[in-house]
Structures are given as C-alpha cells and as structure tokens.
Structure 1
Amino acid sequence: MTSTRSRIRRAALGVTAAAAALVLAACGSDDGSGTSTGDSSPSQTAEAEAGAHNDQDVSFAQDMIPHHQQAIQMSRMAATQASSAEVKDLAARIEKAQDPEIETMTGWLKAWGEDVPSGMPGMDHGGHSGDSSDMPGMMDSEDMDKLMDASGAAFDTIFLTMMIEHHEGAVEMSTTEKGEGEYGPAKQLADDIIASQTAEIAEMKQMLGQSEGEN
C-alpha cells in the first residue's frame, strides 16, 4: 500500500514539474521573440507618430526648425565674439537646448512624410513653403551681418537685444501651436519652449540692463 502511494505521489510531482516547465517556456518565448501582444513593431510606432496631427503641427515644426537654427548660429558667434562670460554661458545653453529639439522636430516631419527645412535661415529653405521673414523674431541678413561684425561689449548688447526679440518670436509661435495644434508631443514641446525661453528673456533683460548701465 505504501509503495502504491509513493508511486502516485511521484507521478503527481512529475506532472506539476512538467506544467511549470511549459509555463516558463511560454514566458521565455514571449520575452525573447518580441512577438508578445504588448510589443510594438517599428512600423506600428511610425504609424503612431504619423497619426493625430494637423497642418498647424506641420507648420510649427517646419517654422521652428529654421528659427532654432538661426538662434544656434547667433549663439555660436558668442563663443569668440562676446566679452561677457554670462553671455557666453547663455549662448552655450541655448545651443545645447535647441539642437536636440531640431532633431526631434525633424523626426516628426519625416514620420509625417512632410518636407524638412534645409539651408541657412534667411535664405532659401528648399522644400519649406514658408518665408523666414514671416516668422516672428527672425533676424534678416542685415541683422546677422551686424552681429557678425561686432565684438566685445558691443556684441554683447546686440546679441542680447536680438535674442530677446528672437525668443519672443519663438514664444509667440509656440503659443499658437498650443492653441491650434493637435499632436501631443508638439504641444508639449511648445509648452517647454514657452517656459524655458520666457525665463531666458527675463535673464537677458537683466543682463542687458546691467550692460547698458556699465556703458
């Protein structure tokens, strides 16, 4: 009798172990193959990115890319032409913040099948249908030449004056996107731009007041 019970117990343990092995194998297959229902394929991700957006989202990205490019162009001049360490630090922060944002917006436009602006701001933008002169806060070629020819304290004053106007334009564009855009990440970026650049405007106005007070 005891022997019979032992055989039954061993058989039951064997069935339990086999069932556990099957469960583990199934879990391993889902994790290793990437074919479980919770995973998204690259094509599904692209479709999601290309989804819920409107013309305002496209215009925001196509306009803000050259707008950011010009801000970076101006900021790079500060490395060698500015006299104030504060101006140089601000310019470095502007470039560090806006360069990744250009990459992000470029990715959106590509996912949407839209033209990505090319060329330097103020010149022909290739596939972009807009005109840089229509963008709030954009500097024209004469302004850029004036900044390029300046140095020292004069550069600091011109840079801060122009960048305040440039930032105000970006805030205006971002406010429009928040109100009229549809694509969530674009509206979030617009919100981030408003917050960061409004703070930098206040910082630059203080620096400009100090600079003018010294002159």
Structure 2
Amino acid sequence: MRSRLIATIAVATLALAGCGSTDMPAARNQPAASSNDHNDADVQFSENMIPHHQQTIQIADLATRQGASEQVKVVAAEILSPEEKDIQTMSGWLRSWNVASPGDMSGMDMPGMISMADMKSLQSATGAAFDRKFLAMVAQHLQNGVDMAKKVLADGKHEGTRTLANKIVTEQTEQIKKVQALKV
C-alpha cells in the first residue's frame, strides 16, 4: 500500500512538473527590471505571496506525512509542486527591484494566512479529523491566494507578475475544486 502511494505521488509530481508551458523562467535568467516595469502592487504581491506559498508548502508537507487518506496525501503532493519555483521567481523579482525578500514568515499571522492557533490545531490532529481540517484549511488558504492574485491583476503592471498571477488563479482554482470534491 505504501509503495503504491509513493508511486502515485511520484507520478502526480512528475506529471505536474512536466507541464512546463506556463512555468515562469527562473529568476536568475530574467533581465534586470527597470523601475518603470513594476509598481507597489507588484512588490506587495511578491512580498505577501512568498510567505503564503511557504505556508502552503508547510501544510501540504504535513499532510503528506500525517494524512490518513491516500487521496489527501496525493492532493497535498500535487499542491507542493509549483510553490517552490514560484517563490524563487518572486524572490528574484524582489532582488531585481532592490527590495529585500521576506524571510520565512510562514508562522506569522497576516491576512491570507492560516493562524498560528489553526496551524497548531492541524499539527495535533490525527486520522480522519486531520484530513477534514487539512481539506478545509487548504481550500480557504488556496482561495486567499487566488484573491491575492486577482488583486495584483487589477492593480499591478509587471508583466511577469501578471503572468504568474494568472497561473495562480487557474491552478489554485483547480486545486480548490479537487480539495472540495474529496470526501473523507
């Protein structure tokens, strides 16, 4: 059973990694940004989305280890795939704009984030109770990310940020549908 789960997660991860048509170029391959190609909304988006993605990684990683249902573990593995690459891309933009990247703020209480109390509750949950909490929390967390992306689409001007925001809206909306369809 465990080897089947590992194989399923590996296939899902490889399938997602193979979908490179919407991937953002690595930050180190991007030309230096001019001060006219971005605005405060673009900067704020990257500054807020980096810790948001870090927290997504934290809870999805927790679910791959603590989830009781194979379905929960597979969905968690699928959620993990694009997050690290997005963080690298946004960190590169912030560096090119001479803005310090936020450190690991995945435990901070800020808009769009899962509270410390809810994180502790999730970490201490087990079995089906963990799965239900994870699914509810990750659906809301992903929706918060979609909302953040829609805001920068309305207010931002950096083309790379807009492309990433569109990708986040599309991918996370699909992930939310998958999460909400699971019955545990």
Structure 2: runs of 5+ lacking an equivalent: 1-27
One-letter identity of the residue aligned with 2:155: E
What is the CA distance between 1:47 and its match in structure 2? 4.1
Provide the C-alpha distance between the structure 1 equivalents of 2:104 and 2:161, rounded to a whole number of angstroms. Answer: 23
1:144-183 matched pairs, under 5 angstroms: 144-183=119-158
Are the counterparts in 1 of residues 69 and 131 from structure 2 also a CA contact under 8 Å?
Answer: yes
One-letter identity of the residue aligned with 1:100: K
Provide the C-alpha distance between the structure 2 equivalents of 1:145 and 1:45, rounded to a whole number of angstroms. Answer: 41
- Indicate the residue corresponding to 1:62 in structure 2: 47
- Indicate the residue corresponding to 1:95 in structure 2: 80
- From the CA coordinates, give the structure whose radius of gyration is larger: 1
SS of equivalent to 2:146: helix
One-letter identity of the residue aligned with 2:133: I
Provide the C-alpha distance between the structure 2 equivalents of 1:155 and 1:63, rounded to a whole number of angstroms. Answer: 27
Provide the C-alpha distance between the structure 2 equivalents of 1:88 and 1:167, rounded to a whole number of angstroms. Answer: 16
Q: Answer 1 or 2: higher relative contact order, Cα 8 Å, separation at least 6.
A: 2
Structure 1: runs of 5+ lacking an equivalent: 1-41, 124-131
What is the CA distance between 1:78 and its match in structure 2? 1.1
Task: Summarize the Cα distance change of 1:162–1:186 in structure 2 as closer, same or farther, 3 Å threshold.
Answer: same
Which residue among 110, 120, 129 is the counterpart of 2:105? 120
Alpha-carbon displacement from aligned partner over 1:17-41 (angstroms, at most 9, x marks no partner): xxxxxxxxxxxxxxxxxxxxxxxxx
Provide the C-alpha distance between the structure 2 equivalents of 1:85 and 1:193, rounded to a whole number of angstroms. Answer: 25
What is the CA distance between 1:96 and its match in structure 2? 1.2
Are the counterparts in 1 of residues 46 and 91 from structure 2 also a CA contact under 8 Å?
Answer: yes
- Indicate the residue corresponding to 1:30 in structure 2: none
Alpha-carbon displacement from aligned partner over 1:82-109 (angstroms, at most 9, x marks no partner): 0111111111111111111001000000
Provide the C-alpha distance between the structure 1 equivalents of 2:62 and 2:131, rounded to a whole number of angstroms. Answer: 10
> What number of residue pairs does the alignment pair up?
156
TM-score by length of 1: 0.69
2:178 corresponds to 1:203: yes
TM-score by length of 2: 0.80
SS of equivalent to 1:120: coil
Runs of 4 or more consecutive aligned structure 1 residues displaced over 6 Å after TM superposition:
none
